[in-house]
Amino acid sequence: MHSIAILGAGMMGNVHARAYRAMNQTSTLWIVDPVASRARVLAESYGAVVASFDEVLENDGIDILDICTPTFTHRELAIRALEFGKHVFCEKPIALKLEDARAMEEAAEESGKKFMVGHVVRFFPQYVRVGELVATGEVGDIVMVRLYRGGSFPSHGIDNWFADKGKSGGVFVDLSIHDFDFLRKLLGPVKTVEARSAALSSERKKDSFDHGMAILRFESGALAHIEGSWAEPPGMPVNFGTFYEFVGTKGMITNSYERETTLRLQTSIDGKPKYSQENPIYFDPYIEELKSFIRSIEGDSEVPVSGHEATESLKVALAANLSAELHRPVELSEVM
């Protein structure tokens, strides 16, 4: 049994509280949020206890801190929690700057505690499945990939923090990082990034953008086109969607949110065409993700997404920001 404190009672705090309760693995759940009414409402919904950050740090009975706060607060909260000997789960993106992310990695190493970052796309059923198909060579070597992830502007964020690039990192760092991370895991290191961005919705702050495209060239030679958007019109019946297409030397795999989880596999091997469709069995990716973290604590094994992995994915997102700013391709080695 673990005693878990969730920092941040916003959208992700709610998602994580629901997941922990569904797993039934917590004796007591604690909620920390400087906005007392938010902490109280979330605590009441899940039979949790409201506490301050200092109280959960000082409480030796609490072994896990789960950070679901705005990204610009991650570094400070994670490092303090690790210094107090807590295992730390931190929502993605790990941080806004490489310097912050590396300080978090170091703190985790020094503490000897587990530190995992919430790159949850690795746990979504249709992404798990395409990962398996690619890894087993079902469509040969991957040559080109197209990914889309987008919806309307995340106006739920407290004080509209997503709108401020200095607080959220913008659409590449906050949203497309899911796809950058997934592709890095599947295809290996990225060499160069060429990106462009557009400022479309009225909710973003003046210096921010909310729609972007990035072309990633991997060291393997594969190319990926990644599009991320916070600029879809609000108030639509479906307000968020994803798409992928993996093209290999022997065929292709596609999946679109519009076709729910249906994954389409088309290959031509030795002149024999094959077509199949499948619906990967649905499971809650947030539960799977948090379960995997708890398993790594209990088994003293590597976490599935380490601080270092998350830092490398942040590097790709920062390269996209830089490329969009400079209007030229950026080598990953340029991003410090």
CB of 123 to ligand NAD, least distance (A): 10
- φ, ψ of residue 77 to 5 degrees: the values are -65, -45
CB of 121 to ligand NAD, least distance (A): 8
Handedness of CA 105, 111, 116, 117 (dihedral sign): negative
- DSSP strand E in the chain: where? 2-7, 26-32, 49-50, 64-67, 87-91, 115-118, 142-151, 190-198, 211-218, 223-229, 240-248, 251-256, 263-269, 272-278, 330-331
Which is nearer to ligand NAD, 60 or 159 (by Cβ)?
A: 159
Interacting residue with ligand NAD among 4, 5, 12, 231 (CB under 6 A) = 12
Max Cα-Cα span within the chain: 66
Interacting residue with ligand NAD among 7, 19, 117, 213 (CB under 6 A) = 7
Q: Taking CB under 6 A as the rule, does residue 68 contact ligand NAD?
A: yes
Q: Taking CB under 6 A as the rule, does residue 158 contact ligand NAD?
A: yes
Among candidates 124, 95, 135, 319, which has minimal Cα distance to 241? 124
CB of 311 to ligand NAD, least distance (A): 15
Binders of ligand NAD in range 171-190 (CB under 6 A): 174
Burial bucket for residue 271 (CB in 10 Å: 0-12, 13-18, 19+) = exposed
Interacting residue with ligand NAD among 24, 135, 156, 238 (CB under 6 A) = 156
Site string for ligand NAD, 99-118 (x = CB under 6 A): -------------------x
Residues lying near ligand NAD in the complex (CB under 6 A) are found at 7-13, 32-35, 38, 53, 68-71, 73, 77, 91-92, 118, 120, 156-158, 174
